[in-house]
Chains A and B, each alone.
Chain A
Amino acid sequence: MSTTATLTSAPTSTEPVVARAAPRRVTIGGVLRVIGLGAWLLITLFPLYWIAITSLKAPGTISRFPLEYWPGELSIENYRGLFEQSNFGVFLANSAIVATTAGATATLIALLSAYVLARFHFRSRGAVLVAFLLTQMIPAFIALGPLYSMMSDLGLVDRKFGLVLVYVAISIPFSTIMLRGFFQNVPDALEEAAMIDGCSRLGALFRVIVPVMTPGIIAAFIFNFVNSWNELFLSVVLMHAESNRTIPAALNGFISTFNIDWGSMSAAAVLTILPTMVMFALASKWIVQGLTAGAVKG
Chain B
Amino acid sequence: MTAASTERPAAATAGGGAPGSRRRPAFRARHGLTILAFLAPAIVFVGWFTYYPMLRGANMAFRDWNLWDLTSTPFIGFDNFATILSDPVFPTVVRNSVLWVVGSLVPQLLIGFALALALRKRFRFRGVYQALVFFPWAVSGFLIGMLFRWMFNAEFGVVNDLLGKVGLIDAPIPWLADPTLAMVAVIVANIWYGVTFFAIMILAALQSVPEEMIEAASLDGAGKVRMLFSIIIPTISMTLLLTVLLRIIWIFNFPDIIYAMTGGGPANRTHIVTTWMINFTQQGNYGLASALGLCVVGFLLVFCAFYLMAIRKADQS
**Contact of A133 with B308 in the complex, beta carbons under 8 Å:** yes
- Are B274 and A170 touching (Cβ within 8 A)? no
Q: Is B54 an interface residue (CB 8 A)?
A: yes
Cα-based distance from A193 to B19 in the complex (angstroms): 11
In the bound complex, residues from chain A placing their C-beta under 8 Å from that of B34 are 116, 120, 201
Which residues of the other chain, A, contact B274 by a CB distance below 8 angstroms? 139, 141
**CB–CB B35/A122 < 8 A:** yes
Q: Mark B19-34, 1 if CB is under 8 A from A, else 0.
A: 1011100000001101
Interface of A is mostly: helix
Q: How far is the CB of B112 from chain A (nearest CB, A)?
A: 10
Classify the interface of chain B: helix, strand, loop or mixed.
Answer: helix
- B60: A residues at CB distance < 8 A: 145-146, 149
Residues of B within 8 A of A144 (CB): 278, 281, 289
Are A37 and B201 also in contact (CB < 8 A) when A145-B57, A169-B46 are?
A: no
Report which of B161, B297, B303 forms a contact with A142, defined as CB distance below 8 A.
B297
Judge whether A186 is part of the interface by a CB distance below 8 angstroms.
no
Residues of chain A with a CB closer than 8 A to B53's CB: 143, 146-147, 150
- In this complex, the interface size class of chain A, counting residues with CB under 8 Å from chain B, is 35 or more
Binds A, one of B2-10, B98-106, B131-139, B179-187: B131-139
- Which segment of A85-93, A210-218, A269-277 sits at the interface? A269-277
- CB-CB under 8 A for A251 and B118, given A132-B46, A143-B293, A295-B246: no
For residue B145, give the distance in angstroms from its CB to the closest CB of chain A: 10
* Beta-carbon contact of A113 and B142 below 8 Å: no
Measured CB to CB, the closest approach of chain B to A126, in angstroms, equals: 10
In the complex, which residues of chain B have a beta carbon less than 8 angstroms from the beta carbon of A133?
Answer: 304, 308
Contact A284 B130 (CB under 8 A): yes
Name A249-298 residues within 8 Å CB distance of B: 251-252, 255, 262, 265-266, 269, 272-273, 276-277, 279-281, 284-285, 287-288, 291-292, 295-296, 298
Centre residue among B122, B133, B143 by max chain A CB count within 10 A: B143
With contacts A273-B139, A288-B130, A296-B201 taken as known, whether A265 is within 8 angstroms of B146 at the C-beta atoms is yes
Asked if A47 meets B17 with Cβ closer than 8 Å, knowing A11-B207, A112-B41, A139-B253, the reply is no
How far is B281's CA from A54's CA once the two chains are assembled, in angstroms? 33
- Output the nearest chain A residue to B42 by Cβ-Cβ distance: A113
Contact across chains for B143 and A273 when beta carbons are under 8 A apart: yes
Are B54 and A169 in contact, with the CB atoms below 8 A? no
Distance in Å: Cβ of B290 to nearest Cβ of chain A: 6
Chain B residues in contact with chain A, CB under 8 A? Answer: 15-17, 19, 21-23, 31-32, 34-35, 38-39, 41-43, 45-46, 48-54, 56-57, 59-60, 65, 67, 111, 114-115, 118-119, 121-144, 146-148, 150-151, 153, 155-156, 158, 161, 192, 195-197, 200-201, 203-204, 207-208, 224, 239, 242-243, 246, 249, 253, 255-256, 259-260, 274, 277-278, 281, 286, 289-290, 293, 296-297, 300-301, 303-304, 307-308, 311
Closest 10 CB pairs of A and B: A145-B286, A230-B140, A169-B49, A146-B56, A113-B42, A143-B53, A276-B138, A146-B57, A284-B131, A292-B204
14 pairs from A and B in contact (CB 8 Å cutoff): A14-B128, A36-B115, A40-B195, A48-B147, A112-B39, A113-B42, A117-B39, A143-B50, A143-B293, A146-B57, A146-B59, A146-B290, A150-B53, A196-B15
17 new A-B contacts, CB < 8 A, other than A54-B150, A112-B38, are A12-B131, A37-B118, A40-B195, A50-B147, A112-B39, A113-B38, A135-B50, A138-B296, A146-B60, A149-B56, A192-B21, A231-B140, A255-B260, A280-B135, A284-B134, A287-B134, A292-B200
Chain A residues within CB distance 8 Å of chain B: 8-9, 11-16, 18-19, 22, 29, 33, 36-37, 40-41, 43-45, 47-48, 50-51, 54, 62-63, 66-67, 109-110, 112-113, 115-117, 119-122, 128, 130-135, 137-150, 165-166, 168-170, 172-173, 176, 188-189, 192-193, 195-196, 201, 226, 229-233, 237, 248, 251-252, 255, 262, 265-266, 269, 272-273, 276-277, 279-281, 284-285, 287-288, 291-292, 295-296, 298
